[in-house]
Amino acid sequence: MSVIFLKTLAIFLMIAAGFLVRRVRMVDDPFNRQLSLLLTHVFYPALIVSAIVRNYTLASLAANWTLPAGSALIMGAGWAVGRLALRGLAREPEGLRRTFHYQCTMNNYSFLPIMLVSGLFGGKAVAQVVFASLGAELCFWTLGIQALTGHTQPRQVLRNLLTTPMVALAAAIAVLVLGAALPPAAALPAGVRLTGGMLLDTCQWIGQATIPVSAVVCGCRMATIEARHLLSRPMLAMLGLRLGLIPALAVLGLALLPLPADARPVLLVVAVQPAAMASVTMAEIYRTDAHFAAASVFLTHAACLLTIPLWLQVLGV
């Protein structure tokens, strides 16, 4: 319980930094949107490359296919529930409805789970979260973007895949394929090894900015939240679905997958997470309802201090 509380509190402290700089007017809304673009096109792609190349080989990717399949199942359950819930939000603004559907689809599948499983299960579990995020990433740029934009045409869905993070994911897999085809690293020229190591280190350093920058972007938007953003029917629905019904359906779905014994607890942690912090960034970029996104992130993260320990106790994790 204390580990979960402290790890989640660390997220809130980073969010508080963004809240403060916005309240004292060091930044404004246009700057926040530019920072969101920088996060999506620079910091996050670097994190993807570093995490995949450093933690996996081509063989391990193929052998552990149930991990990304499990995270994709979790996001797919959220998308389906959100799609059904939109019928009850027909009178709400279109931007809010799209943001609502996106947040039902995508939870905090990497940042907070990484912090939690590192304290609960150790370093191997962190690598499992990173690998599992492959499935979530595919859902992010397909189902998630479809929810935000409302596009359903196959051509547009394919275009959504041609994004910087997806290019980074393809590049990381290509590096693993190349590594499997080349001789062992010790047999390569020293210049090649040093250059490869330098590039990978650069990606790692840049990627380390992803979590704090995402939290700052979220905090900046939270500084503009009003009471009406927190106390509303859509917000109550978001709390119930994101922290209750969607995790329950995801847990049932995971029971059907042939997961390794050590992977199941990791995916259960992912399944019970609050709304994605990145939803604020995506709402900024796609100009939907960033206020609702920020309020949802704040409330679901505050509530998860109670719901995550309860879920993990019930599930025997």
Instruction: Write out the DSSP string of 126-138.
Output: HHHHHHHHHHHHH
Residues 277, 78: Cα–Cα separation, whole Å = 16
- Partners of 275 in beta bridges: 107
pLDDT, position 224: 75
pLDDT, position 190: 63
**pTM reported for the whole predicted model:** 0.78
* Domain chopping of the chain, boundaries: 2-312
Distances (CA, A) of 144 to 16, 28, 64, 194, 229: 27, 27, 24, 38, 22
Distances (CA, A) of 55 to 166, 179, 245: 18, 13, 33
State the DSSP code for 43. I
Q: Contact 146/82 with Cβ under 8 angstroms?
A: no
Distances (CA, A) of 253 to 21, 85, 154, 170: 42, 19, 26, 27
22-55: pLDDT as tens digits: 888 888 878 877 888 888 889 988 988 888 888 7
Q: Contact 219/16 with Cβ under 8 angstroms?
A: yes
169-209: pLDDT as tens digits: 889 889 888 888 776 665 556 665 667 778 888 998 998 88
Kindly state the tokens that stand for 259: 């997961």
All residue ranges of the chain with pLDDT < 50 are none
CB-CB neighbours of 64 under 10 Å: 19
Residues 115, 121: Cα–Cα separation, whole Å = 10
pLDDT, position 151: 64
pLDDT, position 13: 84
pLDDT, position 155: 63
pLDDT, position 273: 94
pLDDT, position 71: 95
- Which CATH number among 1.10.1790, 1.10.287, 3.30.70, 1.20.1530 corresponds to the domain 2-312? 1.20.1530
